[in-house]
Chain A
Amino acid sequence: MNILYDMFSLALMMATPILIAGLGGLFSERSGVVNIALEGMMQVGAFACAGLVFVLEPHFAPGSPMPIAFGLVLGAICGLVLSIIHAYACIHLKADHTISGTAVNLLATGVSLYACQIIFDQQRTPAFTKAISKVSVPILKDIPVIGDLFFDNVYPTFYLGIIIMILTWFIVFKTPFGLRLRSCGEFPQASASMGINVIKMRYIAVLTSGFLAGLAGGVMVMSQNTQFTAAAIHGYGFIAIAALIFGKWNPFGLLGASIFFGFAQTLGLYVKDISFLAVFPPEFFNALPYALTIIALIVFSGKYNGPKAAGEIYDAGKR
């Protein structure tokens, strides 16, 4: 049982950046703009966060959490700034969302490495000393099973992700604003006929997704790494998109998909020690999370296949 709790704690560590970036993707896609640039926005967020933490650390008392807080905020802002490019290209210039997203991803890698080179004279940020570390929540951790799973040895960023998830659910599904946002992703011309400013709604949604993806990048580098490198994000932005689809563009589904992915990945690490599974070659388990994701996508594919207008270029005159 202890091994299972250890595995779950790791699964949550991996799930957190997927969840936060995926929520960003949810805003964007629900408004009708496909955002495959989550990866790039995470990368820029991770670089800005790790860089600022390194720069600020000497100016605060050793061990102070303030540099991390500032770093996460700057990471989120940098993700937002990058998302302006994607928003402008997709909404104003009516570019294909996938092509714009790909371009932003390429740009993000280049920009973050170039900035590292200029600021730190090397292709990575120097190592920061204080990272985000695991916490145990008093009282709550003593609840049987639930306490061990969710409140013992968990990164505080996981709770941040849960708070953002609940906020997202409330805003997107329980407020008039959310209804309008979702309508823009289903049938924007109808929304426009009811007086909704589709362009404004989509801008808000894409910038929010950039903010959250940048934050996710910061969370990822601060809880899993010692510094920002070109490999710091290694595909998590794309996994977030897969989790979003798997979770049916729903915040709770996304949470489940993120934890599922994290757990599948952790299982691959522990499987060597489980005798009846150890007969398979290790490559099998390295591929497992991806294979399971594809299988789950097929098995759980149901009626709702995402916002109807997502990826479609908005043409106000189309009937």
Chain B
Amino acid sequence: MKKLMKMAVVAAMVLSGLAGCSSNSEPEVNECPIKIGLVTDTGGIDDKSFNQGTWEGILAYAEENNLPSTCYSYLQSTSDADYVPFLSQMGDDGMDIIIAPGFLFIDSLNEVAPNYPDTAFVIVDDVVEQPNVVSALFNAQEPSYLVGVAAAMKAKAAGATKVGYVGGMEFDTIKAFEAGYREGVASVDPTIEVLYDYVGDFVSADLGKALAQKQFNEGAYVIYQVAGAAGNGVIAEAKERREKGEDVWAIGVDKDQHTDGLLTDGSSAVLTSALKHAGAAAKECIELEAAGKFPGGTSLVATLATGGVGYTTTNTEAMTADIVAACEDAAAKIKNGEIVVGTVPNR
């Protein structure tokens, strides 16, 4: 019996070895006009944020250009230690363009990119200065302006005179959100006061909730949160108050946070969300690489005009036609340059 088992195991090993050989011998490497690789950060491919968005951008490009599914793939990092080996593996596999979504990749890209000078790399939402890396950035102040318009119109309709802003940490990229928001609010009614607070980190939902409570108590009608996981607390507080019949709102960021704000009656406490479309940025970079025009060493800034940022109208009950019209009007003016949104908050 034992002998039989051994033979079976050996047979299985030989067969699998053969199978490996046969697949290797198939010539399919050269069929790809472009080979695209994605390495996710620890958030995973379905994070409903940058990883997923980037992957959707790759899929959209593949569909438009009838790219065979063998020409693009992703590797999911399970820890920070995976970034360097995974990026290198993609490089060894002969990928033409490798995309790394998020600031977690800064160090690993600086290490790996010089080893593959002929490969194009893209970092999403941060800057890596290497000759073969493009930094895909977002003009966050522009969608922030639009949600500011929505916030102010909603507040005005309810007779409120204050709106709020809760940021994660007070540095330039996050302050740009505040700047855009403030300008958007002021464009509707300069007398509306914008309360602002910074959590101090991006993880403390309890502090986010406490700040939301503080601002709502001070009379804020709607709060725009740009605080990552800490921002969950802002949405939680808005939910709690709406559930009790109070008329207040939260505004989401980066992705559509409509479902995070769902209440027991099926409506949502999230008025709208300011979006960053990682997919649009990724697709643009791939198109440039495919055309041989990859702008290595520079930054590509996604704007309303390029379709890389935007806002949501998922909450159709709350985002009434006049608000959407005002947002669209403002968006058109930003696109044609009539309005230039600043990045320093005018407090």
Q: Do A and B bind each other?
A: yes
Interface residues of chain A, those whose CB is within 8 Å of chain B, are: 6, 9-10, 13-14, 62-63, 117, 121-123, 126-127, 129-131, 133-134, 220, 224-227, 229-232, 234, 265-266, 268-270, 272, 282-283, 286
Cβ contact within 8 Å between B239 and A131? yes
Q: Which of B44, B236, B264, B266 contacts A225, CB < 8 Å?
A: B236
Closest approach, in angstroms, between the C-beta of B244 and any C-beta of chain A? Answer: 7
Cβ contact within 8 Å between A130 and B264? yes
B170 within 8 A of A: yes
Interface contact tally, CB-CB below 8 A: 98
Q: Which of B42, B197, B243 contacts A269, CB < 8 Å?
A: B197
A-chain residues with CB within 8 Å of residue B259 when the two chains form the complex? 126-127
Cβ contact within 8 Å between B200 and A282? yes
CA distance A227 to B261 in the complex (A): 10
Cβ contact within 8 Å between A234 and B48? no
Cβ contact within 8 Å between A122 and B48? yes
A-chain residues with CB within 8 Å of residue B235 when the two chains form the complex? 226
A10-B210, A229-B232, A266-B210 known; A127 and B217 CB under 8 Å? no
Q: Is the interface of A mostly helix, strand, loop or mixed?
A: loop
B-chain residues with CB within 8 Å of residue A13 when the two chains form the complex? 206, 209-210
Cβ contact within 8 Å between B214 and A62? no
Cβ contact within 8 Å between B233 and A224? yes
A-chain residues with CB within 8 Å of residue B202 when the two chains form the complex? 231
Closest approach, in angstroms, between the C-beta of A19 and any C-beta of chain B? Answer: 14
Cβ contact within 8 Å between A123 and B44? yes
* Interface bits B192-213 vs A (CB < 8 Å: 1, else 0): 0000011011111111011101
Closest approach, in angstroms, between the C-beta of A169 and any C-beta of chain B? Answer: 26
B265 within 8 A of A: yes
Closest approach, in angstroms, between the C-beta of B238 and any C-beta of chain A? Answer: 10
A122-B44, A224-B233 known; A127 and B243 CB under 8 Å? no
B-chain residues with CB within 8 Å of residue A230 when the two chains form the complex? 229
B262 within 8 A of A: yes
* Interface bits B218-242 vs A (CB < 8 Å: 1, else 0): 0000000000111011011001100
Closest approach, in angstroms, between the C-beta of A248 and any C-beta of chain B? Answer: 25
B43 within 8 A of A: yes
Closest approach, in angstroms, between the C-beta of A178 and any C-beta of chain B? Answer: 32
CA distance A54 to B259 in the complex (A): 12
Cβ contact within 8 Å between B214 and A6? yes
Cβ contact within 8 Å between B203 and A6? no
Cβ contact within 8 Å between A131 and B213? no
Cβ contact within 8 Å between A265 and B207? yes
Cβ contact within 8 Å between A6 and B197? no
* Interface bits B256-281 vs A (CB < 8 Å: 1, else 0): 00011111111000000000000000
CA distance A265 to B236 in the complex (A): 19
A129-B262, A231-B205 known; A225 and B47 CB under 8 Å? no
Cβ contact within 8 Å between B264 and A129? yes
Cβ contact within 8 Å between A122 and B47? yes
- Subset of 17 A-B contacts with CB under 8 Å: A6-B214, A14-B206, A62-B266, A63-B264, A122-B44, A123-B42, A127-B260, A133-B243, A133-B244, A225-B233, A226-B260, A227-B232, A231-B230, A234-B204, A269-B197, A269-B207, A282-B198
CA distance A44 to B48 in the complex (A): 23
A-chain residues with CB within 8 Å of residue B243 when the two chains form the complex? 63, 130, 133
B46 within 8 A of A: yes
A10-B213, A127-B260 known; A283 and B205 CB under 8 Å? no
Beyond the given pairs A10-B213, A127-B260, A224-B209, 19 more chain A to chain B contacts, judged by CB atoms under 8 angstroms and listed by A's residue number, are A6-B214, A13-B206, A14-B206, A14-B210, A62-B265, A123-B44, A123-B47, A127-B259, A129-B263, A130-B243, A130-B264, A131-B236, A224-B236, A225-B232, A226-B260, A231-B205, A234-B203, A265-B206, A265-B207
